[in-house]
Structure 1
Amino acid sequence: MLRVAVVGSGPSGVYAAQTLVGQREVPGVRVDVLDRLPAPYGLVRYGVAPDHEKIKSLTGNLRSVLEDERIRFLGNVEVGGAPLTTARMLELYHAVVYCVGAARDRMLGIPGEELAGVHSATAFVSWYSGHPDAGSFDLGGVRSAVVVGAGNVAVDVTRILARGVPELEPTDMPQPALGALADSGVRTVAMVARRGPSQAKFTTKELRELGTLPGVETRADAAELALDPAYADPAAAAALPAVARRNLEVLRGWAEGPSAGGDGRRGIKLRFYLRPVEVLGGPDGRVRGMRFERTAPDGRGGVTGTGAYEDVEAQLVLRSVGYLGVPLPGLPFDPATGTVPHAAGRVVRAGRASVGEYVAGWIKRGPTGVIGTNRPCAKETVSSLLQDAGALARRDLPGDPLDALRAAGLRPVEWPGWLAIEAAEEALGRSLGRRSVKIPDWAGLHAAAGLA
């Protein structure tokens, strides 16, 4: 029997586990899926916006995998430090697949970024998604917000800031976050990109959603859109990918007139060709605005500064300019790419593949792709692992790793513990007159799982 540990219970980890038990070349594979959190599903639970229920329904597919009798979920287990080092993992398992994601956000690298009221979109998403490591957000006094970035995460945080609370109440958003958004005075949100609309990374479905929010006017600036060579040139537009062409048409509509349904009290404006150069602060040490330099296409797919500047009012700034992986103690790491060096998923140490150690997901390829991209990525890694299975299985292992984890003082949350958390969140929702509501703190999760 081949005993494999998968570290991380997000999509890449679950797909790796599913591929391992679903293959026929090596019978008798057993998989433990370990996660630092007592709850499974990774970014599907803690990254997908709460009002995107269709995407969040993917948890049903992930659940069916984790309920397979050949797979065991062990939450509340942190790998990489004492007592569960990467070396210790190889003593307990024939092979280990690390699917630990990319937990750090990129900085803007401009003056004033340390001011109060400047945050990463990652931190904001973690807060409204109920991640137990998230800090709190005080939105009092925030009238105008700036979101720097042009990807789907930037669209998500823009939408959540502008959305009315009645549309968020049916979601699983934690009650403290819902209350803070209900009490906020946010009236305008500017989503700002340094390049043009044809280079934006958001998808058309998510973009269009900004124009359907009840009571919100969504606008684009016609003069800024016109700077994009593809905006007015049909031949240049035809050469773009289909998503970029559709995005341009959506934005063209908002430049000709605001989205329908707005009442003038709340608004979203999409801005392009503006590069952040400074966060402006007040005497109280809090952000009061951002200074941008107008950019222009350089003819090579990039932009160049024009020397013209514009200040935009903001009491809240969220940067959404990408993610980076973080080193896991005991594994090699490439800081330039934020990934673990690998060859077809095999971890590479000092130029040689380390048979028995593997990576999948963002820590393997960087923060690219959508949820479904993790499936072929995990399949490639598992294929490498199965090629090594003959050598791996010859190594004798001690008894059940769960016994070793408990002996080391760890308190794993098994599947029944997770089901108890689910039940507690459903009960919390009923007590608030809502549906299931997330428990957003470690103490609450531990208590619900029976660890308190």
Structure 2
Amino acid sequence: MSVDDHLGPPSPRPLRVAIVGAGPAGIYAAEALTRQQEIPVAVDLLDRLPTPFGLVRHGIAPDHPKMRAIRDTLHRALDHPSVRFVGNVEIGRDLSCGELLEAVDAVIYTYGAARDRQLAIPGEELPGSLAATDLVAWYTGHPDADRATVEAALARARSVVVVGVGNVALDVARVLARTPAELEATDMPQHVLDALAAAPVAEVTILGRRGPAQATFTTQELRELGELAEATVLVDPADLEQDPSAAERAATDRVVGRNLAVLAGWAGHAPQPGRTRVRLRFFGRPVRLLGEDRVTGVEVERTEVDADGRASGTGEVSALPADLVVRSVGYRGCGLPELPLDAGRGVVPNEAGRVLRDGRPAPREYVAGWIKRGPTGVVGTNKHDARETVTALLEDATAGVLRPRGGSKNDLVAELRARGADPVLLEDWRAIDAAEVALGATRGRARTTLHQWETLMAAVREAAARAR
């Protein structure tokens, strides 16, 4: 009898799952896969960036340290022995969807919804008109941020109009209205802090086409506007007058009721000399951006809201001065080559997370997060969403629809390197993390975000050279 006979039959190979997108949805999916005990798994968590955490790193405003601390929680999933972070890998460039699917047993797409929605009004193409996605990418240090365009717009921005009444709109307004001292301790890149300190912002108007009862911001985000060191929040009392449907909504929805109470507390404020004015203006929709060579204002039409919460124009038009207009009216998902997309909704067609091709579940392909459901909810919403998708995947594995495939023997990282890619693994990310902490320490901060591709990859190379 051989030694192998004494050892018994070999244990089954783990199910190899690739997750495309290392933001909250992807990390929560990895966590759900590794926490279950029924089926052994090995997870490769891929991201186009050399850094994990997605919108937690490059979406949540840096002046929200408690929210950004979510990444400490997310990091625990990256440390699991069955999870491998594989950054600096782009699907469509380094591997196609089909090639990735051939290399593993199943793929979960969680790459989010990074494209902004447009206002689709005349003048939107003028200099001084920005998407919130561009501004947020810039102040969070995203390596793809268009620094020149954003900083040129900010340099002349005395009056700013932010179109939208969601949390991102509040983030943008709050960051622009903060003093340099308030932002000094954040992890913003130094050039961002310098540009914000030099920007001549004196007034920020948050413009919503519907009423305060239909606004989608959370109460915590709203209250923080009132905590700014050198800003006064202004609200027109007339905007807070409630019709029966708005009053009913406030009575039945606690968030709406709390928001209205916060807004009512600001309704008596008056502008104060030397302080930035942050104005919340409701029942107005932009119909045209004014200006010839650059934005000089916004033409706003007064709206009215029906019992179902739909806004319609009244024909009453006014002009609102603006040197900078930031649209914050939502995100849209975009497609990957070979992956179906519902262009109208900006999501991958799916059923409980199973990708649908021609109306039928596609074997071994799944989605989670915004590309599954659309850009809704908060960070924690992705946890339940990912669990639903992982449950579907495990059901398919139990039913035999999904199983370890004999042909999937090659290591994904080795395959990527053979193709000339330069994948960034967890230890490489730790080198980037350490470099950011070290850079922050030079100015008395917890960290400073590295914002350039070359600088990020240099931190990896330097750490590897020291280890040799």
Using the size of structure 1 for normalisation, the TM-score is: 0.95
Read off the aligned partner of 2:294 and give its amino acid letter.
R
Aligned partner of 2:142 in structure 1 is 131
Counterpart in the other structure of 2:226: 211
Provide the rounded CA distance (Å) in 2 between the counterparts of 1:49 and 1:394: 41
Letter of the aligned partner of 2:119 in structure 1?
L
Counterpart for residue 257 of structure 1: 269
Tell me the equivalent position of 1:64.
Answer: 76
Aligned to 1:182: 197
Deviation of 1:252 after TM superposition, in Å, equals 1.1
- TM-aligned CA deviation for residue 304 of structure 1: 2.2
- Alignment partner of 1:272 is 2:282: yes
How far has the Cα of 1:381 moved from its partner? 0.7
Structure 2 CA distance for aligned equivalents of residues 45 and 238 of structure 1: 33
Does structure 1 residue 245 correspond to structure 2 residue 260? no
Matches within 5 A, 1:98-109: 98-109=109-120
State whether residues 145 and 188 of structure 1, in contact with CA within 8 Å, keep that contact through their aligned partners in structure 2: yes
C-alpha contact (below 8 Å) 1:11/1:41 kept by paired residues? yes
Deviations along 1:277-297, one digit per CA (max 9) or x if unpaired, are 000014xx1101101001122
Amino acid at match of 1:5: A
Of the three residues 140, 149, 154, the one matched with 2:164 is: 149
Q: Which amino acid aligns with 1:435?
A: A
Q: Return the letter of the residue paired with 1:67.
A: D
Contact 2:284 2:301 in 1 (8 A): yes
Separation in 2 of the partners of 1:403 and 1:334?
Answer: 34
Residue 335 of structure 2 is matched in structure 1 by: 327
1:173–1:394: structure 2 CA closer, same or farther, 3 Å change rule? closer
Identity %: 52
CA distance 1:238–1:358, shift in 2 (3 Å): closer
Are positions 1:39 and 2:51 aligned together? Answer: yes
1:102 offset after TM fit, Å?
0.2
Shift of 1:399: 2.2
Q: Is the 8 A contact 1:198 1:240 kept in 2?
A: no
Equivalent in the alignment of 1:229: 243
Residue 267 and residue 344 in structure 1: after superposition, are their counterparts in 2 closer, same or farther (change >3 A)? same
CA deviation map 1:222-281 (0-9, x unaligned): 12222x4169x8x6365341111111111111112259xx66431100000011000001
The number of aligned residues is 443
Question: 1-side partners of 2:252 and 2:298: how far apart?
Answer: 31
Whether the 8 Å contact between 1:288 and 1:315 is mirrored in structure 2 is yes
Residues in 1 aligned to 2:383 and 2:445: alpha-carbon distance in whole angstroms: 34
The answer (yes or no) to whether the contact 2:212–2:239 under 8 Å persists in 1 is no
Q: What per-residue deviation string (whole Å, max 9, x for no partner) do you get for residues 348-402 of structure 1?
A: 1112211111000000001111111111111111111112223432421122111
Cα displacement (A) at 1:437: 0.3
- Do structure 1's residue 94 and structure 2's residue 67 form an aligned pair? no
Does structure 2 conserve the Cα–Cα contact (< 8 Å) formed by 1:11 and 1:42? yes
Say whether the 8 Å CA contact 2:250–2:256 is kept in structure 1.
no
- Structure 1 residues 426 and 449, CA, compared in 2 at 3 Å: closer, same or farther? same
The question of 1:298 aligning with 2:306 is answered yes
Alpha-carbon distance in structure 2 between the residues aligned to 1:302 and 1:422 = 46
Which whole-Å CA distance do the structure 2 matches of 1:88 and 1:32 have between them? 15
Q: 2:15–2:404: 8 Å Cα contact kept in structure 1?
A: no
2 CA distance for matches of 1:302 and 1:82?
A: 42
Q: What amino acid sits opposite 1:47 in the alignment?
A: G
* AA in 1 matched with 2:360: R
**Partner residue, 2:352:** 344
Q: Which residue does the alignment assign to 1:446?
A: 457
Which residue of the other structure, out of 410, 433, 446, is the alignment partner of 1:399? 410
Asked whether the 8 Å contact 1:217–1:263 carries over to 2, the reply is: no
Whole-Å Cα distance in 1 between the matches of residues 447 and 279 of structure 2? Answer: 33
User: Secondary structure of 2:461's partner?
Assistant: coil
> What are the ranges of 5 or more consecutive residues in structure 2 without an aligned counterpart?
1-13
Aligned residue among 267, 281, 286 for 2:291:
281
TM-score (norm 2): 0.92
Paired residues of 1:102 and 1:324 also in contact (CA < 8 A): yes
RMSD after superposition: 1.6
Q: In structure 1, what is the Cα distance between the partners aligned to 2:167 and 2:30?
A: 28
The answer for the alignment partner of 1:113 in structure 2 is 124
